[in-house]
Chain A
Amino acid sequence: METINAEIFTLTYGSMVRQLIADLEDISAVNKQLDEMGYNIGIRLIDEFLAKSKTGKCGDFRETVDRVAKVGFRMFLNTTAAVTNWNAEGTECSLILEDNPLTDFVELPEGCQNLVYCNVLCGVIRGALEQVSINTECSFVRDVLRGSDVSELRLKLLSLNKEEYPFKDDD
């Protein structure tokens, strides 16, 4: 698989976030925009993930999340996430990221302490899973840029979609 130097990726992402902050000024609007951009990326990225990893169907949500954490993160970001903190019903879990190429050498300045710098990752996961009929909610609960040791993403399963015939039969 073709790779490029991680720093180009990190710097480009950083430059893009800077441009967003200059455009939108309001930090919560930037967070929302990052999530939306991530969503747009996710709905396309899923096909590449499925094609390259030759993933067939996953048995249940647990297996899906495992696949995302091990194969997905490795394929695109060359890092893995650990999956922990499952709730009793198996519908919520945490993805722990120790090593994140997006945040290498990044420091949040004074005025941007509310910025969820990697919010794009939440959008990507949400978008990608939606394309395989899994509706989820994803957000950061711990962030290395705001003082924690690791970044933690909380992933919550909302519902599963069924396949429906999209055309009306009476045509």
Chain B
Amino acid sequence: MFSASALRLNIVDRPLAKGKSEVSLSAFAFLFSELVQYSQTRVSNIGELERRLEDVGRGVGLRLLETLCHRERGGKRDTRLLDVLKFVHTTLWKYLFGRQARDLEQSNAVDDEYMISDYDLFVTKYISVPKDLGTFTPAAFVAGVVKGVLDGAGFPARVSAHFVAVKGQAKPKTTILVKFEPSVLQRESRLPNT
């Protein structure tokens, strides 16, 4: 049965845009703000609120992984742990925020935890968290994006976002904490060192 849409180019045949078009940051800020407000009506505590934001971010991350690999890496996807972390720290961050992330560190205590830190992310720019929301950070959305990217690349992990106060700085930095699943580390140890 032919419909009008069959005569138009099928969605997967359309060219993938170069990714240069832009919208105002305000549009995103309002949309995000409304998303947070809506989510607050459906949860009963901060943990759930952050999880909902992470879910939204995860959907974005899964799709971004494919787009960025196709555009920036010629279709190749990293298979080693440090490479995929570098992908997040550089390529993904540059796409989202226009620059590389400030720091990428491995935790001193355990070797399956890594931290990516940065200041002044646009998702946290407009939010001044009221006291009754406690430790909530809207960067949970970014944590979700990172989780989506890692999940899509085959590196399941628990990802969370935290505000960390920095000595000597008025504003706290945002840290994305990545804790990889044991299966990832086991696989990594089986592969030869590059």
Say yes or no for A77: interface residue by CB 8 A criterion. yes
- Which of B17, B27, B32, B35 has the most C-beta atoms of chain A within 10 angstroms of its own C-beta? B27
B24 to A2, Cβ gap below 8 A? yes
B56 to A16, Cβ gap below 8 A? yes
Give the Cβ gap from B170 to chain A, nearest Cβ, in Å. 21
Closest chain A residue to B37, Cβ basis: A40
Closest chain B residue to A14, Cβ basis: B59
- Which of A1, A4, A147 has the most C-beta atoms of chain B within 10 angstroms of its own C-beta? A4
Say yes or no for A11: interface residue by CB 8 A criterion. yes
B32 to A6, Cβ gap below 8 A? no
Chain B proximity mask over A103-114: 1 for CB below 8 Å, otherwise 0: 011010000000
Give the contact-size bracket for chain B.
35 or more
Which one, A41-49, A90-98, A133-141, A153-161, is touching chain B?
A: A41-49
The interface residues of chain B lying within 8 Å CB-to-CB of A7 are 17, 19, 64, 67
Say yes or no for B119: interface residue by CB 8 A criterion. no
Tell me the chain A residues, 5-40 only, with Cβ under 8 Å from chain B. 5-9, 11-16, 18-19, 23, 33, 37, 40
Chain A proximity mask over B60-84: 1 for CB below 8 Å, otherwise 0: 1001100100000000000000000
The interface residues of chain A lying within 8 Å CB-to-CB of B21 are 5-6, 78, 101
Given A15-B60, A40-B34, CB of A3 within 8 Å of CB of B24: yes
CA–CA, A23 and B42, complex, Å: 9
Say yes or no for B5: interface residue by CB 8 A criterion. yes
Say yes or no for B111: interface residue by CB 8 A criterion. no
CA–CA, A9 and B123, complex, Å: 12
A4 to B22, Cβ gap below 8 A? yes
A12 to B23, Cβ gap below 8 A? no
Given A1-B24, A3-B24, A37-B34, CB of A15 within 8 Å of CB of B19: no
A interface residues, tally (CB under 8 Å): 36
A3 to B3, Cβ gap below 8 A? no
Chain A proximity mask over B85-108: 1 for CB below 8 Å, otherwise 0: 000000000011000000000000
- Which of B5, B23, B58, B95 has the most C-beta atoms of chain A within 10 angstroms of its own C-beta? B23
The 8 Å CB contact of A78, one of B3, B24, B56, is B24
Given A7-B19, A37-B38, CB of A12 within 8 Å of CB of B67: no
Closest chain B residue to A123, Cβ basis: B34
Chain B: residues with CB nearer than 8 A to chain A? 3-5, 11, 14, 17, 19, 21-28, 30-35, 37-38, 42, 52, 55-60, 63-64, 67, 95-96, 122, 141
Sorted nearest first, the 5 A-B pairs with minimum C-beta distance are: A15-B59, A3-B22, A2-B25, A76-B27, A11-B60
Q: List 29 A-B contacts (CB under 8 A).
A: A2-B24, A2-B25, A3-B23, A3-B24, A3-B25, A5-B19, A5-B22, A5-B95, A7-B17, A7-B19, A7-B67, A8-B95, A11-B64, A12-B28, A12-B31, A12-B56, A16-B35, A16-B56, A44-B33, A75-B26, A76-B23, A76-B26, A78-B21, A78-B22, A78-B23, A101-B23, A104-B17, A107-B11, A147-B3
